[in-house]
């Protein structure tokens, strides 16, 4: 009765766009509207019809213990059945008889929920769930290579090497869990057919990838390692399992910096180590000990917390924004499953609050300095750990353990105020060969200096330094040396950032000395207008930013020794209002403009410069004044030399020596 699913799949079926506003840009069929025909005469299944059947689960034939014994799997299935939102989602797919939620990145990702479906079937034995699993898994097993590896199937390098892509992992989990928990649904012929599809398109591709690239410090190790660990155990390949465990241990032990920070950015930390969780769940206690013991990962939650703005920016928002660089976006969540791993493995208490979007208890944050530099080149300055804090992040590239997903953006700084990301990064579309991503990688898209209109060097060619990150009675301060980031040669390029007390005014002071030849020197700052409810008004070298009933800010810019110029224009950052891969919607945002770019600098090319930007967000702040050798801001005199910074307010003086 199920022979139809073995019929060769027609590329002409189901190729309409899921949304009129979402153009299909892949090199393989658009399956976003595809669905198999539902069985005749079926009626919708209600949640109360999914009843636990322990006796059946403990005796049903065909069970495999790849993910644990029957008791373990039944307990996990019982937890899922007790989650109303999970049951509601699974029944929605079942009752509409669709494979899942259409996914912008390919049909394979639509099947990512099938592991949960298999759990629910194992726990209940509901016949329609079984029919749904049977039909769709067999259907997927008939599909050619593009289903498993997406666009890469068109690449000459892939055709030559035939190694796994990320999309295969979700399919692997769907197939293997179905075969392990619902194996009795399939005849011997059907099972062999599915196993051959898994072996050829998931297991063998993943094995070749891990053999060739498994010792890289790439988040792909955890994603593809998960697929190989599942399939290796399913097919009884002890060598593949050992290889996977060795590669996962290598990644866990060395991908993170000494202080727990991670070079691929906040998002890819969450993605990479979040993708490690399924493998962690399959490990024995001894395997977990060997993989995770003594790893720097145990210190990572402090680094993660430093990114977070602990207050929702909008009334309809249920998550906290973050300030992060590289291929990250400000609305990236911290994964709950990763928080669970960190708590179980290391006794970490902080990450739980990050994942639940709750403000951590003060005791968990007290040991994290308000001015902190990390080994990734990131610096975070905070007015406090309270939800209404002002937070500044800054970046200076140098060699790190995990360097993918970094950009030529040394000197880039971000500002969050009262939970709102005010000065924002360009963001990431995740479409790495598309025009919007190429725009994001321009140095002009970052909040940093732009010399002669040129991009900075590739991040692997940079050796910038964080010279100072310290808090005192007058300010939290950072200093970063950036001369190694730029193609035009300067003896010294330093970016000094001050978060003043108690006004929370942010001061960015750049000094450039000893240029080989005169070049144009400007800096860019991008302000958030993602919801199209803000305004920016220019008055000479002063700018006023306003979001009604939320935030008001003044920006003063200038040059200390030469005539300064300043301008503003509508700009673009990746919008959190749309999926970051929804290229058409993001392009419309680009056309409208959803950010304000302020550009300031010298009127003429020069070999040296001193530029400043003063961002005031508190009422009653004073207009900054430059007086020969010091900048007076909110009653604090800031004096900068190559060897020392002096801050003074009245009789209070703070001297900060600078390393050479």
* CA pair distance 561, 543, nearest whole angstrom: 21
The model's confidence at residue 5, banded by pLDDT at 50, 70 and 90, is very low
In terms of DSSP bridges, do strands 595-602 and 521-528 run parallel, antiparallel, or are they unpaired?
Answer: antiparallel
* CA pair distance 566, 555, nearest whole angstrom: 11
Angle CA 75–78–80, to nearest 5: 115
Mean pLDDT of the chain: 92
Q: Is the dihedral of CA 648, 654, 659, 660 positive or negative?
A: positive
Going by the DSSP 8-state scheme, the letter that residue 505 receives in this structure is -
In sequence order, what are the residues at sequence separation of 6 or more whose Cβ sits closer than 8 angstroms to the Cβ of residue 566?
Answer: 538, 540, 541, 543, 557, 598, 599, 600, 601
Paired tokens of 37: 């025909």
- Summarize the confidence of residues 93-98 as an average pLDDT: 96
Please, how many CA atoms are within 13 Å of residue 511, restricted to the half-sphere of its CB? 18
Higher-confidence residue of 124 and 112: namely: 124
* CA pair distance 639, 655, nearest whole angstrom: 10
Residue 157, judged by CB atoms within 10 A of its CB (0-12, 13-18, 19+), counts as exposed
CB 228 within 8 A of CB 278: no
Going by the DSSP 8-state scheme, the letter that residue 422 receives in this structure is E
Is the pTM for the entire model greater than 0.85? Answer: yes
Lowest mean pLDDT, pick from 45-49, 399-403, 583-587, 637-641: 583-587
Lowest mean pLDDT, pick from 259-263, 493-497, 621-625: 621-625
Per-residue b or e along 591-624, where b marks 16 or more CB atoms closer than 10 Å to that residue's CB: eeebbbbbbbbbeeebbbbbbbbbbbbbeebeeb
* CA pair distance 537, 545, nearest whole angstrom: 7
The model's confidence at residue 315, banded by pLDDT at 50, 70 and 90, is confident
Higher-confidence residue of 172 and 152: namely: 172
* CA pair distance 519, 449, nearest whole angstrom: 12
Q: How many CB atoms lie within 10 A of CB 376?
A: 30
How much of the chain, in percent, has pLDDT values that exceed 70? 96
* Predicted pLDDT at 39: 93
Per-residue b or e along 223-235, where b marks 16 or more CB atoms closer than 10 Å to that residue's CB: bbbbbbbbbbbbe
* CA pair distance 488, 156, nearest whole angstrom: 37
**Phi, psi (5° rounding) for residue 401?**
-70, -45
The model's confidence at residue 7, banded by pLDDT at 50, 70 and 90, is very low
In sequence order, what are the residues at sequence separation of 6 or more whose Cβ sits closer than 8 angstroms to the Cβ of residue 590?
Answer: 436, 572
Angle CA 340–343–344, to nearest 5: 85
* Predicted pLDDT at 318: 86
* CA pair distance 573, 568, nearest whole angstrom: 15
Model confidence pLDDT, tens digit, residues 186-213: 999 999 999 999 999 999 999 999 999 9
Please check the confidence at residue 11 and state whether its pLDDT lies above 50: no
The model's confidence at residue 392, banded by pLDDT at 50, 70 and 90, is very high
The model's confidence at residue 432, banded by pLDDT at 50, 70 and 90, is low
Angle CA 26–31–37, to nearest 5: 170
Angle CA 255–115–101, to nearest 5: 95
Q: How many CB atoms lie within 10 A of CB 422?
A: 26
Q: Is the dihedral of CA 100, 105, 109, 113 positive or negative?
A: negative
The model's confidence at residue 87, banded by pLDDT at 50, 70 and 90, is very high
3-state secondary structure of 29: coil
Residues across the chain = 660
* Predicted pLDDT at 104: 72
CA 219 → CA 303, 401, 618, distances in Å?
Answer: 18, 12, 41
* CA pair distance 353, 385, nearest whole angstrom: 14
Please check the confidence at residue 10 and state whether its pLDDT lies above 80: no
Reduced 3-state DSSP string for 437-457: HHHHCCHHHCCCEEECCCCCC
The model's confidence at residue 30, banded by pLDDT at 50, 70 and 90, is confident
CB 429 within 8 A of CB 436: yes
CA 211 → CA 188, 240, 249, 272, distances in Å?
Answer: 31, 9, 15, 19
Please, how many CA atoms are within 13 Å of residue 307, restricted to the half-sphere of its CB? 33
Strand order in the sheet with 535-539: 465-471, 475-481, 490-500, 506-515, 609-616, 551-559, 542-547, 535-539
Please check the confidence at residue 136 and state whether its pLDDT lies above 90: yes
3-state secondary structure of 308: strand
* Predicted pLDDT at 226: 94
How much of the chain, in percent, has pLDDT values that exceed 90? 80
* Predicted pLDDT at 159: 86
* CA pair distance 220, 231, nearest whole angstrom: 17
Q: How many CB atoms lie within 10 A of CB 291?
A: 22
**Phi, psi (5° rounding) for residue 632?**
-100, 115
Higher-confidence residue of 584 and 607: namely: 607
């Amino acid at each position: 009765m199920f022979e139809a699913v073995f019929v060769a799949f027609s590329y002409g079926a189901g190729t309409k766009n899921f949304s009129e506003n979402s153009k299909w840009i892949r090199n393989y069929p658009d399956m976003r509207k595809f669905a198999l025909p539902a069985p005749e005469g079926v009626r919708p299944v209600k949640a109360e019809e999914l009843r636990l059947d322990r006796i059946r689960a403990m005796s049903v034939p065909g069970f495999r213990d790849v993910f644990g014994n029957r008791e373990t799997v039944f307990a996990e299935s019982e937890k899922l059945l007790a989650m109303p939102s999970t049951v509601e989602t699974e029944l929605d797919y079942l009752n509409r008889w669709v494979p899942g939620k259409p996914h912008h990145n390919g049909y394979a990702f639509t099947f990512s929920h099938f592991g949960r479906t298999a759990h629910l079937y194992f726990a209940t034995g509901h016949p329609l769930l079984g029919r749904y699993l049977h039909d769709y898994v067999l259907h997927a097993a008939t599909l050619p290579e593009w289903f498993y590896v997406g666009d890469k199937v068109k690449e000459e390098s892939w055709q030559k090497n035939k190694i796994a892509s990320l999309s295969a992992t979700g399919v692997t989990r769907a197939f293997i869990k179905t075969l392990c928990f619902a194996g009795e649904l399939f005849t011997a012929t059907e099972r062999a057919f599915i196993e051959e599809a898994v072996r050829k398109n998931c297991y063998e591709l993943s094995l070749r990838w891990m053999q060739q690239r498994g010792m890289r410090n790439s988040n792909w190790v955890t994603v593809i390692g998960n697929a190989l660990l599942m399939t290796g155990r399913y097919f009884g390949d002890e060598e593949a399992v050992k290889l996977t465990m060795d590669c996962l241990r290598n990644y866990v032990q060395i991908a993170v910096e000494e202080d727990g920070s991670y070079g691929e950015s906040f998002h890819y930390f969450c993605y990479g180590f979040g993708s490690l969780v399924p493998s962690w769940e399959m490990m024995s206690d001894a395997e977990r000990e060997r993989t995770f013991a003594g790893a720097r990962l145990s210190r990572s939650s402090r680094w993660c917390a430093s990114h977070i703005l602990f207050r929702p920016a909008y009334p309809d928002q249920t998550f906290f924004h973050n300030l992060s660089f590289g291929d990250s976006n400000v609305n990236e969540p911290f994964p709950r499953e990763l928080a669970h791993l960190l708590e179980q493995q290391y006794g970490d208490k902080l990450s739980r609050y990050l994942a639940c979007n709750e403000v951590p208890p003060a005791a968990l944050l007290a040991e994290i300095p308000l001015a902190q530099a990390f080994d990734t080149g990131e610096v975070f300055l905070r007015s406090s750990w309270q939800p209404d804090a002002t937070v500044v992040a800054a970046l200076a590239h140098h060699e790190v353990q995990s360097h993918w997903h970094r950009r030529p953006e040394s000197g880039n700084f971000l500002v969050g105020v009262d939970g709102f990301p005010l000065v924002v990064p360009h963001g990431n579309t995740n479409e790495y060969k598309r025009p919007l991503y190429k725009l994001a990688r321009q140095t002009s898209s970052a909040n940093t200096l732009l010399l002669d209109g040129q991009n900075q060097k590739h991040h692997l060619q940079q050796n910038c330094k964080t010279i100072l990150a310290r808090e005192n009675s007058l300010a939290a301060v950072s200093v970063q040396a950036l001369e190694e980031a730029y193609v035009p040669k300067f003896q010294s390029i330093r970016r000094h950032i001050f978060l003043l007390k108690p006004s929370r005014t942010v001061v960015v002071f750049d000094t450039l000395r000893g240029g080989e030849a005169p070049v144009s020197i400007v800096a860019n700052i991008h302000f958030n207008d993602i919801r199209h409810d803000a305004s920016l008004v220019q008055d000479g070298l002063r700018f006023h930013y306003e979001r009604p009933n939320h935030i008001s800010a003044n920006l003063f810019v200038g040059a200390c020794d030469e005539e300064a110029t300043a301008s503003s224009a509508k700009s673009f950052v990746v919008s959190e209002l749309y999926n970051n891969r929804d290229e058409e919607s993001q392009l419309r945002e680009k056309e409208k403009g959803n950010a304000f770019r302020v550009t300031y600098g010298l009127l003429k090319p020069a070999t040296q410069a001193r530029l400043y930007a003063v961002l005031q967000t508190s009422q009653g702040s004073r207009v900054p004044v430059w007086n020969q050798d010091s900048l007076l801001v909110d009653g604090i005199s800031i004096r900068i030399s190559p060897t020392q910074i002096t801050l003074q307010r009245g009789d209070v003086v703070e001297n900060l020596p600078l390393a050479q």
